A and B are shown apart, each in its own frame.
Chain A
Amino acid sequence: MAARYYDGVTAEVKEVGAKWGIGELLVYRLTDFSIVARWRLEDIVVLGDTEHEAVPAISVKGSDARLIVEDPALKAELSRVDYVAAIEAPRPRPARRIATFGAAVVALIGVFWGIVDYGSEYAAPLVPYRLQASLGRQVRADLMAGHNVCTGTDGLAAINTLANSLASAGGLSHPVQVTIVKGGPVNAFTLPGGYLVFYSDLIKEAKDGDEVAGVVAHEIGHAVNDHPMKGMVRQYGVETMLKLLTGGYSDIGTLGSGGSLLLALRNGRGFERAADAEGIRLLEKRGLRADGMSRFFEEMMQHEPADPALSLGIWSDHPPTAERIAATRRPPTGRSAFTDKEWKALQSVCD
């Protein structure tokens, strides 16, 4: 019954036998039975375990010497003494462990996803306004770099007054600020901290002030519901999970970010529906005409009859336009959001 012994001083291998003496382990040469090492029981340690190590080494505290026992008979004999019983511990069966830990991973992904998806509803509003505003300003500065910003005082005052009036109707505790960028596309978006960005082409394409007011109300709907922060929290959460799962392999992350993108797009569709509904509610609460939003969508449909949102399906960040028109259609009642003078000032805000 042979084992291998390393003395910890040199890399020489000795073929040895081992047996229990009185209160000690004796390691001896097989050739002449001369004692190679005598280890006191209380000093003996097993390095590692049978889950990780194929052959856990036997050693003594503070020593580099090792006794490697692969022979099953010798292993069984030595392991009768508790001090080294660990060398003969049954190897854990992988199938059961894979099933257990695999199920745990799947369950934890579900819990993590749930926390990110639903927890962000509650976590996003808790982010201090100062931080949200600082983030919004930073993103706005990055986006505005190299673009002309419109400076028409009266036009900006008109749109900002409307935006703040709707925001306060929605219970927003901080002011909002609208910036208008010269040119296209026909679009507007909301950043954290209540920073709204409109492109002047949107104002140019609108038939009247109520259509622009519909878009303003929609954007305020995003701000009131904390959509920008929620979107960021969710995206960050999913990216974190992917990184944890993939170990940070960059290329895998790229592929994995497809999942993150899908979530962002799903968020996008949900957020757009909620912002439409909130916008209509706010306009009606202020006694303003709420038909502008659906009319604006109808004009978008006329420009693009083949609605990309419909054909892209889950790849679209907006719901189908026809669905939005149906959901936001209202009668032309109430007063206009802008006076004629304000509407004219808004139309010439970039001149």
Chain B
Amino acid sequence: MQEVTPAGATTEPILLDRTPSRPVYDGKLGELYAIYLRHLALMILTLGWSRFWGRTRLRRYLWNHFAILGDRFEYRGRGIELFIGFILVVLILGCWAGLVWLFWHFVLEKRAMPGFGLFDLFYLSVAFIGFPLAFVGQYAGLRYRLSRTRWRGIRGTLGGSAWTYGAMAALLTAANAMTAQLMTPLVSVNLARPRLSNAAIGTQRLEFAGRAGDIYGRYLGYYFLNIFLWIVVFAGAATAIGIGGARFGIDLDKIHTLFAKPGLYTILAIVIAVLVLYTLFGLLILPVRCWWQAYLFRYLVARTRAGGVLFATALSTRHMWGFMVVNYLILLLTLGLGWPWVTHRTLRLIADQLWIYGVPDGASIRQPADRGPRYGEGLLDMFDVSGV
């Protein structure tokens, strides 16, 4: 028990229970795979139309096998809600296609533009609106998922406007790209803020007190170290390939011939070059990237609280390596069939590494009046990889 005096308070000190606890994930990989393989079989049989129901089943399993303070989460979404959400977005996109056709027919068709047709215009326009809409979809999807999530029977909510978030995310991401990623801390913190501080379980909102200034110093260190390491990687790769080439009597002319007339040796040369580059990248660049991501996660978690409940994580570079690199390799090498394994690993990591300090006052957290959106994730399904 810790004694805390709120700033400016003159009354008696308040005693807050800050007993630490960790979430519990007790899902079994075999059970998850059984649900996933059934989902896959139905996906092939229905050409993908069963995905809304399959996704819902997987969420029900994952949510209910994850507990905080002894209380399991509950997922109450329905496949039909996701299906209708998707159909609505298809209809909206159909209207958009109609508008594009009108624009093409009355404005562009008569102006000859070789190699640029109606489909090009449509795809270009969808790519253009798809960029901000993917962010809108992410936020709206999160709102849907939280509204279908219950803890102790209480629904989750996400306030704020998905459109505002989408506009801000698109602008910040574009600005970050234009400034050679130098705005990354600003982007990370400002995109985390609405997602965290607008989220709530019942009437208990999360609070986020992160500031980009806190993490800029470390980011700049990471940024310039990253550039330096890329130079080292390319120099190393060129040297390794050069030395290897000289040893086997391969000069520039031979390399030119190798690519001018492709054969088995061309494939072999490409494989060796890619392996050398990937090995150097894996040994030098990825650990630094994992270090930064682990630091960012620790910061974002530590600056978040729910009333008197605080959060912390000791997520290390090694953990982040497992999360980012190993999970990616699992997905890549299993052609996506390792997805349940990756999800299982991720939830176990969260359960192992997230510390919750304190216990919320359950009696003061009330059921929200907001029941959330009627349908969900259509935009996410259309413009983004909408996983589970």
Contacts and interface: CB of A to CB of B under 8 A. Distances in A.
A12 B34 contact: no
A141 B114 CA distance: 6
A6 B336 contact: no
B267 A315 contact: yes
B218 interface: no
13 contacts: A6-B152, A10-B202, A11-B153, A52-B57, A95-B30, A101-B41, A102-B37, A105-B40, A141-B114, A243-B48, A245-B336, A246-B335, A255-B335
A98 interface: yes
Instruction: Sort A-B residue pairs by CB-CB distance and give the 7 closest, nearest first.
Output: A145-B115, A246-B336, A94-B30, A6-B153, A101-B37, A97-B34, A11-B365
B43 interface: yes
Nearest to B76: A47
Interface residues of A, number: 62
B79 interface: no
Given A94-B30, A101-B40, 12 more contacts: A10-B364, A10-B365, A53-B61, A53-B74, A54-B26, A54-B72, A57-B153, A64-B155, A68-B71, A92-B34, A144-B115, A245-B43
Interface string B150-193: 11111100000000000000000000000000000000000000
B247 interface: no
A92 to B, nearest CB: 7
Contacts of B335: 242, 245-246, 252, 255-256
Give the interface centre of B31, B34, B47, B76 by most chain A CB atoms within 10 Å.
B34
A22 interface: no
Please report whether the interface of chain B is mostly helix, strand, loop or mixed according to DSSP.
Answer: mixed
A311 B263 contact: yes
B262 A308 contact: yes
A324 to B, nearest CB: 18
Contacts of A91: 31
A105 B44 contact: yes
A108 B44 contact: yes
Interface string B15-37: 00000000000111011011101
Interface string A8-49: 111111000000000000000000000000000000000110
Nearest to A57: B74
Contacts of A243: 48
Interface string B282-293: 000000000000
B256 interface: no
Contacts of A83: none
A252 B387 contact: no
A117 interface: no
B45 interface: yes
A144 B115 CA distance: 7
A64 B367 contact: yes
A13 B362 contact: yes
